[in-house]
Amino acid sequence: MNEFPVYTDGLLTRHDGISLHTLPPLSLYVHIPWCIRKCPYCDFNSHQIKQPVDETVYVEALLRDLESELPYFWGRPIHSIFIGGGTPSVFSAHAIDDLLSGIRARTQLLANAEITLEANPGTFEKQRFQDFAAAGINRLSIGVQSFDDRKLAALGRIHNRQEALAAIETALSLFPQVNIDLMYALPDQSIKDAQADIKTALDTGVNHISAYQLTMEPNTPFGHTPPARLPDEEGSDDIETKIHQELAAAGFERYEISAFARAQQYCRHNLNYWQFGDYIGIGAGAHGKLSSANNMVRTTRVRHPKDYLAAMQDKPEVAIDRQNVLPQALPFEFMMNALRLTQGVPTHWFSERTGRDISCIQPAITQAVKRGLLDPQPQFLKATALGQRFLNDLLALFLEN
C-alpha cells in the first residue's frame, strides 16, 4: 500500500510563542461562482452568466477577502490552492494571473504548492490553457462527465466528446497533473456505456479520475423532475462495480470514495480536507476551517455573488460568518472526513487535529471494530471494506462524543 504524503508546517514559531507545528497544514480555496450555462443536476453555488462578469472587480474582492482573513492565519504557509466553482475557466488567464500574484504578495505560498483550476471543456482554448499554466496553475481538473454525446446532451452539458478529448490532450501537454471528473448512473446508461466512458478516459493517459454517481439534488431541475430511464439502485451498483474494476485493472488506486489515482498522483488539496487539515475559503459562498491553539472556527461567505461583491467593496466582515465548532461535534467531523480515505489516517491525528482525547471515541471504536466496520489495527483509523460500504452506519457511531 502506498503511504500518503504528510505535509507539516515545520517548526515555525509565531511572535506570540505558539508553536505552529501542532497545527495541520493550511490550504486556500477560491470560489468563482459563474458558469456559461447551469447544468440541471448541479446544486453548487454557480450562476449562469447573463451579462458580462467584471473579472477585475471580482479578483479585487477576492484579494480584499483574503486580506480580511490574514490575521487568522498569520505566519502559516499555504500548501495548496484550489480555484473551484462554478467554472473558473470562464475567467481569462490574465485574471487568474492577477489573482495568483495577489495571493503570493499577501501570503507565504510554498514554492512547491499544488495549484488547481477547475475547467469545463466548453471553455477550452489552447492559448487560454497555455496562459493558465504560465500563471502558475499546475493541476487542471476538467469536468468531462461522459464521453458519450447523447449522455452529455441529456446532462445539459455545453460540450461534446471531441471538445472534451481535445481539452484533455492539450491539458496533458501543459500541466504536470490533470484530473477528469466523470459521472455515472446516467439516464439510459448501461454497464457497457459506462465501460466505454472509462476506457476512453483511460486511453487519454490521465493519472487522476474522480468518478461520481449522479445524484438528484433537491433544489435542481433534475431534483424536481428526474430524467427518464435512470438506472435503478441495483443497476447503479453494477455500473459502479464495473467502473471500480476497470480502474483497478488499469493501476488506479481508489484512495477516497470517489477519487482514483495512478502513480500516487493524489490531489493534495482534497487530501488535506479529508485529513482534517485547515483551509481558508474565499469567494462567494466559500467555506473555511481554521484551527488555533484552543479552538476551531468554521467560516462561511455570503452566497450570492451580488451580495458578496457589495460587502467586499464596503465592509468585508458583513459577508463572513465565523462559528466556533463545538468540541462534541469534532469527533464526528474528523471521522466523516478521515474515513473517506481508503488508507484511513494515523490514530494520533485524532487528538492532534481535534484537540480531543482519543478516549472520547474509544467506545465507538470498540463497537465499530466488533461490527466489522473499522479496521482493528490500533495505529490507524480506517474503515474496512464493509465500513466503506455502510459508511453512514459507521459514522453514526461517532455522533456526539
Ligand X SMILES: C[S@@+](CC[C@H](N)C(=O)[O-])C[C@H]1O[C@@H](n2cnc3c(N)ncnc32)[C@H](O)[C@@H]1O
Q: Which residues bind ligand SF4 (CB under 6 A)?
A: 35, 38-39, 42, 44, 46, 85-87, 120, 143
Q: Which residues bind ligand X (CB under 6 A)?
A: 35, 41-42, 44, 84-85, 87, 118, 120, 143, 145, 181, 183, 212, 214-215, 217
Helices (H) and strands (E) counted in the chain, each on its own, are 15, 16
The nearer residue to ligand X, 169 or 181, going by C-beta atoms, is: 181
| Diameter over CA atoms, the chain | 61
Residue 232 C-alpha cell reads as 435503478
Please give the Cα distance from 164 to 122 (Å, whole number). Answer: 8
Q: Using CB distances below 5 to 8 A depending on partner kind, what does residue 73 bind out of ligand X, ligand SF4, none? A: none
The nearer residue to ligand X, 39 or 394, going by C-beta atoms, is: 39
- Indicate the burial class of 48 (C-beta count within 10 angstroms; 0-12, 13-18, 19 or more): exposed
Minimal distance in Å, beta carbon 146 to ligand X?
10
Residue 176's CB is within 10 A of a number of other CB atoms, namely 13
Q: Using CB distances below 5 to 8 A depending on partner kind, what does residue 214 bind out of ligand SF4, ligand X, none? A: ligand X
Q: Note the residue count of the chain.
A: 401
The separation between CA 96 and the C-alpha centre of its own chain, rounded to angstroms, equals 19
The nearer residue to ligand SF4, 120 or 291, going by C-beta atoms, is: 120
Minimal distance in Å, beta carbon 144 to ligand X?
7
Q: Using CB distances below 5 to 8 A depending on partner kind, what does residue 38 bind out of ligand X, ligand SF4, none? A: ligand SF4
Minimal distance in Å, beta carbon 122 to ligand X?
8
Q: Which helix (H) or strand (E) holds 260?
A: strand 259-261
Minimal distance in Å, beta carbon 181 to ligand SF4?
9
Q: Are strands 139-145 and 177-184 parallel, antiparallel or unpaired?
A: parallel
The residue with its CB nearest to ligand X is: 143
Q: Using CB distances below 5 to 8 A depending on partner kind, what does residue 217 bind out of ligand X, ligand SF4, none? A: ligand X
Minimal distance in Å, beta carbon 119 to ligand X?
7
* Angle in degrees, CA 45, 338, 70, rounded to 5: 55
- Look-up: residue for cell 472520547? 360
